[in-house]
Amino acid sequence: MKSRYDVVVVGGGHNGLVAAAYLARAGRSVLVLEQLGHVGGAAVSEAVFPGVDVRLSKYSYLVSLLPDQIVTDLGLSVRLADRSFASYTPFARDGRDLGLLVERPDGSATRASFAEVTGSDVEYGSWHEFYGRIAVLAEDLAPTLLEPLMGIADLTSRLRDPSVLAELRDLPLGELVGRWFKDDVVGGVVLTDGLVGTFADVHADDGRASACFLYHLIGNGAGQWRVPIGGMGAVTASMAAAARRFGAELEVDATAGHVAFDASGGEVGWVDGSGVEHITGASVVVSGVAPSVLAQLRGGLGAVARPVGAQVKVNMVLRRLPRFRSGIDPAVALAGTMHVAESASELDAAYAAAAAGLLPDPLPFEVYCHSLADPSILGPAEREAGYHTLTLFAMQTPVGLFDGDNDARRAEAARLAVEGLDAVLAEPLSECLARDADGQLCLQAATPVDLENLIGMTGGNIFHGDLSWPYAGEESQVGRWGVETDEPRLVHANAGGALRGGGVSGIGGHNAAMAVLSMQPVSSAPPRRPV
């Protein structure tokens, strides 16, 4: 290891790895420092239950936002499986157990399901028109995420139908969705994309739910959420392999303690797994850590408020798929995203409860089964025995609810999640859950506080902060990459610091690398290979 690099990347999450790969590919000497014993941050796979050979995507689990361009540029071996169903929403109405099924692409079963649930073809027609317009926006907008920032006027001129973005910016998401959809269940399914990892009142005009909604529908120009074959860890492993292949050095068990700059450049102080302290010089430092973590490393410079994370993730392993009260085939119900307690009125009630300091009851959440699309994450014995995974992501559960007594609130949230599933199942979930080597049910919950403690996601915010609109908010940002800081030799690659970051996209990493490559060289060490 050298004492000085062209670039030191602090934090080996997927964005740090993407930045490192691009910069090493361009001939820069690059060192990545990751505090944990492995890279990947929130994009990792792990066998979390002792004695159960199932490699779950421990935190993030579906891929939409990762552009094909990054996959191609870096030669990533990422494989993504399509899901044949987009969603299923079981619910009870007038004593009947029903469900709204949306195929991908939608066809006769979707139309029939809308008719049964809403009583006519009107909502189905609105659905088609609404998402058809968004599909056009996604195609036009997605490529701009890998370009320097434009002002809103220039961006708008690139859109075939600018009205969709204008409506999203101008109206509270709840009002926009309410204009299109009258059915409580249908409206709720649409609204959920505005609340993933974002604590928001969909009726407020603060734009938070709308920006979140936008990013959930424009990924890679199609907005399709696909299953990473081999789990999310396979995606990150491919990024790490690319970074190494291009010559970057990845150091795990390497905790950065300070980042500072003087006339000669930057320096990063860090401690290795044996407790030995190191100081590494760098012409440029790339931050792969949350902005609030970076501010601590800089002794408080650029401090930001603790962001609010708002989800509970529950990982489960099942002995077999459960039966549903509505009678639907569980392999259909769980193939796409299953929405539970996520009608528009239930989402409103959940927000009101959480804002009043209570865990929402019923708990709104989404569930899907990875192993239906990709059994490769199951060990041979588990596959043979018919095991499956279940991934549950609850909403409107802000970090403040967990700050006092995280253990008790985690247990309560897990109980509410199980109750929510039991309400739509024809048998108790517990009868289907597998047991680990200690005889415990295979169910593991992580709260926003857990994320903060385990992987440095401040406030448990899965995007490191609120998602931003995909254009320059100020004139001074136009033509820049949206990753700059107050220090010219320090850029953000991380999800929250990089405008247009957030999610497993690598966009923050790409844009950080492009910003570094566009800088005037300040290094005394020349690039090892031509750029």
Instruction: Give me the residues that bind ligand FAD (CB under 6 A), please.
Output: 10-16, 33-36, 41-43, 59-62, 65, 255-256, 288-289, 293, 313, 451, 455-457, 462-463, 494-495, 502-504, 508
* Three-class DSSP category at 398: coil
CA separation for the pair 505, 515 (Å, rounded): 17
Please give the C-alpha separations between residue 516 and each of 8, 118, 196, 354, 370, in angstroms, as whole numbers.
12, 53, 31, 41, 37
Tell me whether residue 449 or residue 455 sits nearer to ligand FAD (CB atom).
455
Q: Tell me 430's DSSP state.
A: G
Nearest CB to ligand FAD, comparing residues 35 and 326: 35
Q: Cβ distance 339 to 333 under 8 Å?
A: no
Distance CA 460, CA 39 (A): 18
Gap between the Cα atoms of 117 and 97, Å rounded: 11
Nearest approach in angstroms of CB 438 to ligand FAD is: 24
Q: Residue 383 carries which side chain, given as an amino acid letter?
A: R
Q: In the complex with ligand FAD, which residue's Cβ is closer, 36 or 344?
A: 36
The CB-of-225 to ligand FAD minimum distance in angstroms stands at 7
Rounded to an integer, what distance in angstroms lies between the CA atom of residue 377 and that of residue 52? 11
Q: How far is the CB of 492 from ligand FAD (least distance, A)?
A: 9
- Cis bond upstream, residue 362 (ω within 30): yes
Q: By C-beta, is 65 or 176 nearer to ligand FAD?
A: 65
Phi, psi of 367 (to 5 degrees): -135, 145
Torsion on CA atoms 372, 195, 346, 423, rounded to nearest 10: 20
Which is nearer to ligand FAD, 489 or 492 (by Cβ)? 492
Residue 287, Cα to own-chain centre: how many angstroms? 18
Considering the complex, what minimum distance in angstroms separates the CB of residue 294 from ligand FAD? Answer: 9
Comparison of 49 and 324: residue with beta carbon closer to ligand FAD: 49
- Nearer to ligand FAD by C-beta: 251 or 346? 251
Q: Where are the alpha helices (DSSP H) in 286-387?
A: 291-297, 330-333, 344-355, 370-373, 380-384
Q: Tell me the closest approach of the beta carbon of residue 305 to ligand FAD, in angstroms.
A: 18
Question: Would you call 99 exposed, middle or buried from its count of C-beta atoms within 10 A (0-12, 13-18, 19+)?
Answer: buried
Contact 468, 497 (CB under 8 A): no
- The least distance separating ligand FAD from the CB of residue 255, rounded to whole angstroms, comes to 5
Residue 505 C-beta: closest distance to ligand FAD, Å: 7
> Smallest distance, Å, CB 270 to ligand FAD?
7
Residue placing its CB nearer to ligand FAD in the complex, 35 or 89: 35
**CB nearer to ligand FAD: pick between 390 and 504:** 504
Nearer to ligand FAD, 14 or 298 (CB): 14
* Strand pairing class (337-340; 85-93): parallel
Report the nearest approach of ligand FAD to the CB of residue 17 (Å): 7
- Rounded to whole angstroms, the Cα distance separating 369 from 330 reads 10
Q: Rank residues 68 and 170 by Cβ distance to ligand FAD and give the closer one.
A: 68
Least separation in angstroms between CB 524 and ligand FAD: 25
CA distances, 509 to each of 22, 57, 456, 460, 500 (Å): 8, 21, 18, 21, 11
Provide the b/e sequence for 169-179 (b: ≥16 CB within 10 Å).
eebbbbebbbe
Minimum CB distance to ligand FAD, residue 272 (Å): 11
Instruction: Map residue 488 onto helix, strand or coil.
Output: coil
How far, in Å, CA of 113 to CA of 101, rounded? 6
The pairing of beta strand 443-446 with beta strand 312-318: antiparallel
Q: How far is the CB of 125 from ligand FAD (least distance, A)?
A: 30
Indicate the length of the chain as a whole number. 531
> Is the Cβ of residue 60 or residue 144 nearer to ligand FAD in the bound state?
60
Q: What helix, strand, coil percent values describe the chain, rounded to 5?
A: 35, 20, 45
